[in-house]
Amino acid sequence: MSSNRTEFDLTDRATFSHWTTITLRYCDQDPMGHVNNCAITAFIEASRTSFIYGLVEQADMKGLEFVLASITIDFRRELLHPGEVDVGVRVIGVGNKSFSTGYGIFFKGECVVTARCVSVFFDMETRVGIAPPQSVREYLRAEMVRS
Amino acid sequence: MSSNRTEFDLTDRATFSHWTTITLRYCDQDPMGHVNNCAITAFIEASRTSFIYGLVEQADMKGLEFVLASITIDFRRELLHPGEVDVGVRVIGVGNKSFSTGYGIFFKGECVVTARCVSVFFDMETRVGIAPPQSVREYLRAEMVRS
Amino acid sequence: MSSNRTEFDLTDRATFSHWTTITLRYCDQDPMGHVNNCAITAFIEASRTSFIYGLVEQADMKGLEFVLASITIDFRRELLHPGEVDVGVRVIGVGNKSFSTGYGIFFKGECVVTARCVSVFFDMETRVGIAPPQSVREYLRAEMVRS
Amino acid sequence: MSSNRTEFDLTDRATFSHWTTITLRYCDQDPMGHVNNCAITAFIEASRTSFIYGLVEQADMKGLEFVLASITIDFRRELLHPGEVDVGVRVIGVGNKSFSTGYGIFFKGECVVTARCVSVFFDMETRVGIAPPQSVREYLRAEMVRS
């Protein structure tokens, strides 16, 4: 993983250029009366898959698949139904067989959640991680430094 | 339940005046490659709770709670991620301790799902169904005949 | 659909011979403090898919796929986390391109939910409903009358 | 947080004494054909809440509530439906207003997922983090060193 991962302020909307809006659902809530962490994981996934589909279109990644290798989520504020959240995402690191994405979830102007994911390039037949073409890593590195 | 329940064409957008937009999420999908029926149940609930919150505001229903007594869902077409759905809802029947709501879920101009729910007025302390004030039933009957 | 659908008492454990045990999860609950209806839909699906996988093994159904055409669920009692539920399932009707299954969900000795589903035989390529071989319908009819 | 967090091998069943068994559900799967990461988050939560309920009973924690402040999940192997998983959990760190728990998820004898959570003691009225009584922290530290 790149060592510049920590330079991105995921609580700042300006960090992100790819956005996904997600409407909250009643059953996202749990008995604590707030949006449950499992639902928040689904918001991050919705953002990640939307972003990666876009990358696949733009870069020469057709046929590549990705699986989630790890995720870290920081729950910064309670998120209360109803309403909608905006999820920002960007590339924050590029490795050999994997790349990292960073997320900020915003609700009514405030950052409520930040997260980091590592996604691994994946061969659907052998079901193991693989190194993508060098051009793909270069594309992702260019995405990472893009402001 | 009212015997006029069947007069509403739930596949017709004109049947509905209350609408909820719901964004599809990647994990709404199952291995069949389409949006799973459990997710669709969540869309109906999102519409139902939004609609009922509105009724509670407009009618004198504060303090009343509702639980779902039954649901029937007809899956008319496959629903494919990504995108968003519009869920229409209206009152289709009013009983003594309960009322019925009808739903149409629309995706890219087509009705993909229709559904009917029976909700029961509920006492949170005793956790049993109760009859609401007569004024509430009258309000719901007026809603039912409203075009 | 068969007209004998209504003869099955889905609140009686003796109606069922195929059972699936499902452990409740914290996030199955909603702000009402009980298990949410969307989670219950997932329990029914877990039972249905387990049952149908068994049928596929026993009957000559390999290569057939099924999609859910409709579902009706009656919520008879509140279901409270934690614990586990037993879901019973059986064939309750056989049509030309579809068949019906009935469900009883039991928690601590009581029936809390009953449900009925119509599943349609499905061609994954054309993504439309198809009639299965006659032998499959005969197998399902034999299942339906099996005590 | 305690600096001894890293001494626990979460891939080893012997690390854990509290276990929760969770049955997989069909809709836990996504279009990749494996159990989705959001479902795995729900398994960890099921384990965490079961464990914390036990602590609340044993220690003098009645009236204390907990919210999830952060979670890190490592997806080590694909998890394939159907079946059930065993989730082990233990205390791995104790802070002033929070404590950390570690998890191992095992399927057919193999560790498929490990995770770490930070839970914060929470005042339901003010909805902010609070320091629990010293006796609670001591109880948790004793749990942490318990083999």
Residue D94 maps to which CATH number?
Answer: 3.10.129.10
Total count of domains within chain C: 1
Task: Tell me if D3 is assigned to some domain.
Answer: no
pLDDT for the residue numbered D2: 43
Identify all chain B residues contacting A42, using CB atoms and an 8 Å cutoff: 25-27
pLDDT for the residue numbered A60: 72
pTM of the model: 0.94
| C84: pLDDT strictly greater than 90 | yes
pLDDT for the residue numbered B128: 86
d(CA A43, CA D142): 37
d(CA C35, CA C113): 12
Range of the domain at D42: 8-145
For residue C21, give the nearest of C78, C90, C106, C91 by alpha carbon.
C106
CA distances from B23 to A85, A117, C60, C108 (A): 11, 22, 40, 37
Is the four-CA dihedral A33, D127, D48, D35 of positive or negative sign? positive
- By Cβ distance, the residue of A26, A49, A82 closest to B26 is A49
Contact B71, D69 (CB under 8 A): no
pLDDT in tens, B96-126: 999 999 999 999 999 999 999 999 998 888 8
For residue D139, give the nearest of D101, D91, D104, D102 by alpha carbon.
D91
Number of inter-chain CB pairs under 8 A, B vs D: 19
d(CA D25, CA D5): 32
Is the four-CA dihedral C128, C129, C134, C140 of positive or negative sign? positive
For residue B91, give the nearest of B142, B46, B20 by alpha carbon.
B142
- Mean pLDDT, chain A, rounded, equals 92
Is C27 near chain D, with CB under 8 Å?
yes
Task: Tell me if D104 is assigned to some domain.
Answer: yes
The three-point CA angle C35-C36-C41 to 5° equals: 105
d(CA D82, CA B21): 33
- By Cβ distance, the residue of C27, C46, C84 closest to D45 is C27
| B93: pLDDT strictly greater than 70 | yes
ipTM: 0.93
Task: Tell me if D2 is assigned to some domain.
Answer: no
Cα Rg of chain C (Å, integer): 16
Identify all chain D residues contacting B26, using CB atoms and an 8 Å cutoff: 30
The torsion region of residue D109 among left (phi > 0), alpha (psi -120 to 50) and beta comes to left
B39 CA to centre of own chain:
14
Give bridge partners of residue C103 from the DSSP assignment. C89, C115
For residue D79, give the nearest of A68, C96, B7 by alpha carbon.
A68
Percent of chain B residues past pLDDT 70, beyond the cut: 96
Q: Which residue type is seen at D78? A: E
pLDDT in tens, B20-66: 999 999 999 999 999 999 999 999 999 999 999 888 888 777 778 88
d(CA D23, CA C84): 10
Contact A31 C36 (CB under 8 A): no
d(CA B96, CA C138): 44
Task: Note down pLDDT in tens along chain D; length 147 residues.
Answer: 444 445 899 999 999 999 999 999 999 999 999 999 999 999 999 999 999 988 888 877 777 888 999 999 999 999 999 999 999 999 999 999 999 999 999 999 999 999 999 999 988 888 888 998 888 899 999 999 987
For residue A145, the distance in angstroms to the closest alpha carbon of chain D comes to: 25
Percent of chain C residues past pLDDT 90, beyond the cut: 76
Residue A46 corresponds to which tokens in the numbers above? 């919705």
